[in-house]
Structure 1
Amino acid sequence: GWAGGQLRIVNPETSEACADGEVGEIWVSGPHVTQGYWGRDEHNAETFQARVRGHEAEGGFLRTGDLGFQREGELFVTGRLKDLIIVDGRNHYPQDIEQTVETQHEGFRLGCCAAFSVEQANEEKLVVLIEVDRQYTPPGDGAGAHVLEQAEVLKKVRQAVAAAHSLDVHELVLLQHGEVLKTSSGKVQRRACRAKHLEGSFQRWPG
């Protein structure tokens, strides 16, 4: 048991239980789990009364929206279902891509990167936002140096992401210091960053 309740790792698409060590959505049940939002029966059944396929008699589970796996009874949380990037039918964790990108340039701020996908012509394309440290000054002089360097940086990032994740970076956006949206505890808000990017209101580097 898990604090008087139950915990299952479930494939979010098929509702089948995952094997030990296999990543899926974390589902929980128990006396502490809310029964849902008042007056929203359809949403409640899907989110708060989810059934594991083949184990329907077990009762309803709350779908947490968190991804993770269990190994020998221990739970490991790997990310959020809504943040998952799906390109060409393959799943990618944004934090893995962000870690690859952050190390590609001395001017990039660690922990200030957001990776997400945008739909273009019915295809999901990868967009990466990264902050440039305000202390960083590019070599050379004048605006020409910035432009030249951005092209080189983009090429380097593209190669690194292709090598590590077999993914094409559709767009790399360099942002000014402090632009990436975060929660009060410092977690990158990828969906909010995506919305702000789509409306074109970020302050880009070099300004």
Structure 2
Amino acid sequence: QTISHYRVTHSQGPNFAYEHCLRRTTPEQRANLDLSSWRTASNGAEPVRKETVENFIATFAPFGFRRDALYPAYGLAEATLLVSTKKHGEKAGVLTLAADALEKNRIVVVSPAAKDQVVRTVVSCGPPICGMKVAIVNPNTLTKCQPDQVGEIWVCDPSMAVGYWNRLEETKKTFHAYLAESGEGPFMRTGDLGFWQDGELFITGRIKDVIIIRGRNHYPQDIELTVEKSHPSLRSSHGAAFAVEIKGEERLIVVQEVERSYQKQLDRDEVVGNIREAVTDEHDVQVYYVVLIKAGSIPKTSSGKIQRSACRVKFLEGTLDQLEARGKVASKSGAAVSS
């Protein structure tokens, strides 16, 4: 309504903000909107979901919102925000990738209509802006990745900050990275993972959030999307997936909020069963423990992003505001006990 009334032209929000608009507005509320002034609706700060982009455009196009006005973007505060976004007048690009290859940090593009394999969709964040130098680098060897490989995103530009205030060691580690083969640099190590395709940047996740189980990489946002789709009682964009070491082996943990309207009459066994089945079918990994928590209780940053590391800490402390849990959990002695 604010955009419609004041003829706003530019805005920025994370993916969950667009999801919130889809869930919380009614057809009656949308009927009087005029969004024709909205030229740039930037979507960044967290992984951009193909379903969100498509549903937002389809829902608000009848009220003047243009398809090319939605801008998936990548940026970070250290770069004075924007690093890359799509070009004006173009549609946001989307790639369909073979999931098994992505788990091994390889990029294999497949047809969106592929029925014989599990796939992942990734939305393009466009080319770097204003000549900003961006490299995709193997975080272990510090060498540039091949075009079909996922690597860490390194950024170099005059717009970059020079470091973190009074944090010399972290500044050196983050802002003074050089390529091993050429000595080129300094770059800033973003800690984000991604790849190039036709000159555009695609983001796949965060290094520290990647779940590695039995040698395979699983991106938490993919598992979280599978979880929330598994049952109508589960809140969209209000879950966390992470790994915990139990008896010397990494195990997958899922924490998920339940909609308030379902909490009093929730069939917990059905919900947990749906989650387990969906994750196994889609990702070929077993969920070791499921924690269903009350709406509004999952840890978030001040900007509304889920804090997976804080969820993990609360899980280990046993301080999550849970409705129900199913599975096994490690006791302090390291022995697995049933809940």
Q: Secondary structure at the match of 1:98?
A: helix
Asked if 1 retains the 8 angstrom alpha-carbon contact of 2:268 and 2:324, the reply is no
After TM superposition, give the deviation of residue 166 of structure 1 in Å.
1.2
Residue in structure 2 matched with residue 73 of structure 1 by the alignment = 199
In the other structure, the counterpart of 1:131 is 257
TM-score for both structures, normalised by structure 2: 0.53
Of 51, 54, 73, which aligns to 2:178?
51
Superposition TM-score, scaled by structure 1 size = 0.84
- The one-letter code of the counterpart of 1:10 is V
Matched, 1:155 2:273: yes
1:158-177 aligned within 5 A: 158-177=276-295
SS of equivalent residue, structure 2 residue 142: coil
C-alpha distance in 2 between matches for 1:38 and 1:109: 38
Residues of 2 paired with 1:38 and 1:205: CA distance?
41
Please state if 1:12 is matched with 2:139.
yes
Contact 1:176 1:206 in 2 (8 A): no
Match of 1:142 in 2: none
The answer to whether the 8 Å contact 1:4/1:31 transfers is no
Helix, strand or coil for the counterpart of 1:135? Answer: helix
Whether the 8 Å CA contact 1:20–1:72 is kept in 2: the answer is no
Q: Would you say the 8 A contact 1:35–1:49 is kept in 2?
A: no
2:151 is aligned with 1:33: no
Matched to 1:164, the amino acid is E
Matched with 2:305 is 187
CA distance in 1, matches of 2:287, 2:322: 18
Greater relative contact order structure (CA < 8 Å, 6+ sep): 1
For residues 150-188 of structure 1, the C-alpha deviation after alignment (integer angstroms, 9 at most, x for no partner) is 233323222211111111101000101111122343321
- Measure how far apart 1:126 and its partner are: 0.6
Aligned to 1:90: 216
Contact kept, 8 Å, 2:258 with 2:294, in 1: the verdict is: yes
Is residue 115–residue 126 contact of structure 1 (8 Å, CA) maintained in 2? yes
> Are residues 38 and 180 of structure 1, via their aligned partners in 2, closer, same or farther at CA, if it must alter by over 3 Å?
closer
Aligned residue number for residue 318 of structure 2: 200
**Contact preservation (8 Å) 1:28, 1:63:** yes
1:206 is displaced (CA, Å) by: 6.0
Number of residue pairs aligned between Structure 1 and Structure 2: 198
Aligned with 2:251: secondary structure? strand
Deviation at 1:39, TM superposition (A): 6.8
Q: Secondary structure at the match of 1:181?
A: coil
Unpaired stretches in structure 1, ≥5 consecutive residues: 140-145
Q: Give runs of aligned pairs for residues 94-133 of structure 1, distance below 5 A.
A: 94-133=220-259
- Identity over aligned pairs, percent: 48
Equivalent residue number for residue 61 of structure 1 = 187
Cα deviation code 1:4-58 (max 9, x no counterpart): 54210112122221122532111011322234346765544432211223121x1
CA displacement 1:120-154 (0-9 Å, x = unmatched): 12221110011111101566xxxxxx6xx323332
- Aligned equivalents of 1:79, 1:186: Cα separation in 2: 17
Q: What do you get for the CA RMSD once the two structures are aligned?
A: 2.4
- 1:23 is matched with 150
Equivalent position SS for 1:59: coil
